[in-house]
Amino acid sequence: PHPAVWVAVLVGAPSALLSGSAIFRVAELVFPVPQRVIEAFSQYLLPGDLPLWQVLFFLALLPAICEEIAFRGVLLYGLRRKLGYVGLALTVGAIFGLFHVQLFRLIPTAYLGVILTAVVLLSGSIYPAMLWHALNNAAGLLAAEQGVRLTDATPELIVVGFAGLALALWVLWRTRRPYPEVGEDRGARLWGS
């Protein structure tokens, strides 16, 4: 990938996490989540008996590699000729959200899945999405470990998150190396050749 892609990932990952907190708040209006469920989930993610480096390895790095291979590798590759770029991003993102099972995580996780799929489609490589995914998970885990609730982000921070995400996606668009053979079975070329 173009060197600017890596800068876009470093800006985009924390920005998407902040904007995702707003998505989570909106999703909570549809799927209210009892506080005890969120607390139980946090304790499940951060068992007190594991060192932080192991938590980050098992819950940030490994899922980023394995899930990206499964979703943006195998699944995306398998669907690439049947759908256009937008259809691929939405479909793979939705399946990614469903894979994470908990109803309260469905919409924010699908949101992340759409973004990660767009990263692969625009960069032509799975590696930037792996880094983005690892940074997303690590930042969320570190925030939880420090007792920072991302859903308490101020409106100003959320605006900064959406702006940073827009900037990152714009950089990816400007430096794009499109994913091959997208939509060839149906003649779909929504983002051009």
User: Taking the CB of residue 157, how many other CB atoms lie within 10 A of it?
Assistant: 14
- Residue pair 40/186 in contact (Cβ under 8 Å)? The answer is no
Sketch the domain layout of the chain as residue ranges.
3-174
- Side-chain-side CA neighbours of 168 within 13 Å: the count stands at 26
Task: Using pLDDT thresholds of 50, 70 and 90, give the confidence band for residue 97.
Answer: very high
Higher pLDDT pick, 171 / 35: 171
pLDDT of residue 53: 93
Rounded mean pLDDT of 52-63?
Answer: 94
Lowest mean pLDDT among 24-38, 124-138, 176-190: 176-190
In this predicted structure, the answer to whether residue 112 has a pLDDT above a threshold of 90 is: yes
pTM, entire model: 0.90
- Residue pair 76/92 in contact (Cβ under 8 Å)? The answer is yes
Task: Using pLDDT thresholds of 50, 70 and 90, give the confidence band for residue 144.
Answer: confident
pLDDT of residue 45: 67
Task: Using pLDDT thresholds of 50, 70 and 90, give the confidence band for residue 192.
Answer: very low
Q: Which residues 6+ apart lie within 8 Å of 12 measured at CB? A: 115, 119, 132, 164, 165, 167, 168, 169, 172
User: Taking the CB of residue 149, how many other CB atoms lie within 10 A of it?
Assistant: 11
Rounded mean pLDDT of 90-115?
Answer: 92
Q: Which residues 6+ apart lie within 8 Å of 30 measured at CB? A: 107
